[in-house]
Structure 1
Amino acid sequence: MIMMLPFLSALLAIWFSLRGNRPYTIWAWIFTFVIFLAWMHYHMTDKLNISL
């Protein structure tokens, strides 16, 4: 479920933009960007466990 969060927040931003609600659209895109930054930081600093 957590992997769907950026897709759902982007869908919410698109829905706000189609309704013409610009301030909510901007905040939804900022929220989506913060989610991507958090994931990027987690995956770039986490130890990569590879079983060979």
Structure 2
Amino acid sequence: ALPHAACFVVPNISSIDEYRSARRTAKTNWANLKKREQLAIFLPNDASPQEVL
């Protein structure tokens, strides 16, 4: 299951499929991040504009 939020940001990920296989691993742990090189911002398709902004 995905987080229940208006949006969420994940480090070291480029797709929702990659996130699903890597969630709760060191790859997606913000505390392990030394340098931001790649991240993904996921927005649910039913989010209202005021939730997204």
TM-score scaled by length of structure 1 = 0.25
- Say which structure, 1 or 2, has more relative contact order (CA 8 Å, 6+ apart): 2
Highest CA radius of gyration, 1 or 2?
A: 1
Identify, as 1 or 2, the structure richer in helix: 1
TM-score, normalising length from structure 2? 0.25
